[in-house]
């Protein structure tokens, strides 16, 4: 049984990840023979047994979609109450049996969310049974949303704005009193902040490209890092954290690079450099950039293009530079020495590389019909794509967690 599974972030008012929604569906070659209940059961089983729900969501709660059958058969109880949120789909009616099941879940510590609320008149009993109400930002008018928000806040409900696609929509929902926000507003450039490429920004992009070479040039890396006080500080902070546990502090850039080793340098420098360029952006933007990069790299290997894997990695990474730097992507890629194939793929010109990037971004957004189309064009099996996504997500989340842990521990005295 082949299943596609993706996670999408849900943010709090500070643009920190509060939870992830798990979105899933049977792959096109299997979905016709699978009921929604079977797919839900299969995904929950895999999430628990194959990679662990906490690993999949970085320890954050997971919103899991439940239809009528899944609620009546207690599917959600296969997972602990502290790691999941039971999200009741908009197709579920407030029948007595459903309300009884939800009351039981809530009594046992499960959080209940109502999906895609657009003002349905008969939903009051479901609203009463819920902790969180998700309001469709694009399916409601501004006045209607404000009225619903005031009503639910008065009933001590937490409200979540979903399908928030622009920064202006996030700000409006913030003003309306929403607690949580879901959508890709965070992954779009803010045109009001339009910037110009700085010398430091160019140096950072050059560093990322240097990191993908087969043999690292330690002297060149040392020179680039030494010219940037912020990178130098972060390197010293990381290398002297409790994660490494050195007896004596490391005080030179060259010594730090030698002690870390090639793979550790690549991971650290790529993550920190991207974070420095988007230092006013949500951390999740860096995690998604890393996930895209790693997934593109893994799929290039599956396509027998392993000799181009680092270029595929850069393609995934650089595809979010416009959102990180609040600049048009074409201006950014014109300012750095990229190969023609990579520039063309980032510019949207049809190619094998572009098809891989489209597949990865469609998977990220749970556009599984689009994923299947790209998979057929590229000759990739569903299980290969699914495994690449899981491996890339784990790698990106692990990289973020490591950097965050080192930063919180600070420099050893």
Map out the domains of the chain as residue ranges: 3-188, 199-409
**256, pLDDT greater than 80:** yes
Q: What is the pLDDT of residue 243?
A: 66
Contact between 181 and 164 under an 8 Å Cβ cutoff? The reply is: yes
Q: What is the pLDDT of residue 14?
A: 96
**408, pLDDT greater than 70:** no
pLDDT per residue as tens digits for the range 69-91? 999 999 899 888 999 999 999 99
State the average pLDDT for the chain: 86
The set of residues, in sequence order, having a beta carbon less than 8 Å from that of 75 and lying 6+ positions away, is 37, 40, 41, 44, 66
pLDDT per residue as tens digits for the range 14-24? 999 999 999 88
Q: What is the pLDDT of residue 31?
A: 45
Q: Of 321-325, 354-358, 367-371, which gets the smallest average pLDDT?
A: 321-325
Averaged over 300-307, what is the pLDDT? 90
User: Which two tokens mark 252?
Assistant: 């030179």
Q: Of 140-144, 249-253, 302-306, which gets the smallest average pLDDT?
A: 249-253
Q: What is the pLDDT of residue 30?
A: 45
Q: What is the pLDDT of residue 390?
A: 92
**50, pLDDT greater than 70:** no
- Name the residue with higher pLDDT: 270 or 130: 130
Q: What would the CATH number be for the domain defined by 199-409? A: 1.10.3210.10
**169, pLDDT greater than 90:** yes
**412, pLDDT greater than 50:** no
Q: What is the pLDDT of residue 212?
A: 74
Q: Of 40-54, 112-126, 310-324, 384-398, which gets the smallest average pLDDT?
A: 40-54
Averaged over 56-67, what is the pLDDT? 90
**266, pLDDT greater than 60:** yes
Q: What would the CATH number be for the domain defined by 3-188? A: 3.20.20.450
Going by pLDDT thresholds of 50, 70 and 90, the confidence category of residue 203 is confident
SS3 letters for the chain?
CCEEEEEEEEECCCCCEEEEEEEEEECCCCHHHCCHHHHHHHHHHHHHHCCCHHHHCCCCCEEEEECHHHHHCCHHHHCCCCCEEEEECCCCCCCHHHHHHHHHHHHCCCEEEEEEECCCHHHHHHHHCCCEEEEECCCCCHHHHHHHHHHHHHCCCEEEEECCCCHHHHHHHHHCCCCEEECCHHHCCCHHHCCCCCHHHHHHHHHHHHHCCCCCCHHHHHHHHHCCHHHHHHHHHHHCCCCCCCCCCCCCHHHHHHHHCHHHHHHHHHHHHHHHHCCCCCHHHHHHHHHHHHHHHHHHHHCCCHHHHHHHHHHHHHCCHHHHHCCCHHHHHHCCCCCHHHHHHHCCCCCHHHHHHHHHHHHHCCCHHHHHHHHHHHCCCHHHHHHHHHHHHHHHHHHHHHHHHHHHHCCCC
**pTM for the predicted model, two decimal places:** 0.85
Q: What is the pLDDT of residue 143?
A: 93
Q: What is the pLDDT of residue 40?
A: 73
**151, pLDDT greater than 80:** yes
Q: What is the pLDDT of residue 55?
A: 75
């Amino acid at each position: 049984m082949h299943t596609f599974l993706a996670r999408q972030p849900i943010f709090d008012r500070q643009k920190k990840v509060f939870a992830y929604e798990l979105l899933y569906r049977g792959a096109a070659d299997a979905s016709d023979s699978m009921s929604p209940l079977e797919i839900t059961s299969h995904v929950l089983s895999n999430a628990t047994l194959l990679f662990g729900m906490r690993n999949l969501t970085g320890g954050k709660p997971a919103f899991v979609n439940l239809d009528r059958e899944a609620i009546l058969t207690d599917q959600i109880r296969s997972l602990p109450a502290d790691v999941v949120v039971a999200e009741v789909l908009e197709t579920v009616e407030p029948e007595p049996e459903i309300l009884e099941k939800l009351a039981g879940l809530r009594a046992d510590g499960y959080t209940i969310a109502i999906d895609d609320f657009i003002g349905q008149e008969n939903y009051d009993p479901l609203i009463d049974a819920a902790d969180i109400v998700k309001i469709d930002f694009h399916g409601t008018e501004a006045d209607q949303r404000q009225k619903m928000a005031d009503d639910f806040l008065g009933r001590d409900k937490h409200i979540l704005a979903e399908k928030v696609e622009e920064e202006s929509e996030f700000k409006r929902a913030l003003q309306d009193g929403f607690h949580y926000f879901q959508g890709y507003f965070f992954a779009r450039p803010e045109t009001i902040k339009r910037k110009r490429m700085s010398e430091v920004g160019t140096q950072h992009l050059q560093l990322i490209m240097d990191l993908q070479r087969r043999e690292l040039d330690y002297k060149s890396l040392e020179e680039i890092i030494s010219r940037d006080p912020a990178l130098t500080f972060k390197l010293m902070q990381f290398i002297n954290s409790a994660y490494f546990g050195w007896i004596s502090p490391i005080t030179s850039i060259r010594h730090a690079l030698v002690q870390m080793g090639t793979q550790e340098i690549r991971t650290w420098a790529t993550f920190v450099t991207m974070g420095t360029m988007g230092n006013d952006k949500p951390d999740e933007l860096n995690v998604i950039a890393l996930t895209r990069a790693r997934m593109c790299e893994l799929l290039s290997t599956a396509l027998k293009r392993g000799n181009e894997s680092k270029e595929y990695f850069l393609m995934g990474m650089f595809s979010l530079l416009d959102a990180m730097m609040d600049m048009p992507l074409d201006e950014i890629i014109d300012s750095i020495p990229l190969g023609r194939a990579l520039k063309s793929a980032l510019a949207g010109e049809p190619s094998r590389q572009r098809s891989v990037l489209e597949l990865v971004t469609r998977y990220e957004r749970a556009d599984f019909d689009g994923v299947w189309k790209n998979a057929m064009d590229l000759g990739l099996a569903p299980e290969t794509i699914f495994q690449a996504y899981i491996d890339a997500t784990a790698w990106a989340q692990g990289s973020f967690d490591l950097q965050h842990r080192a930063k919180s521990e600070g420099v050893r005295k």
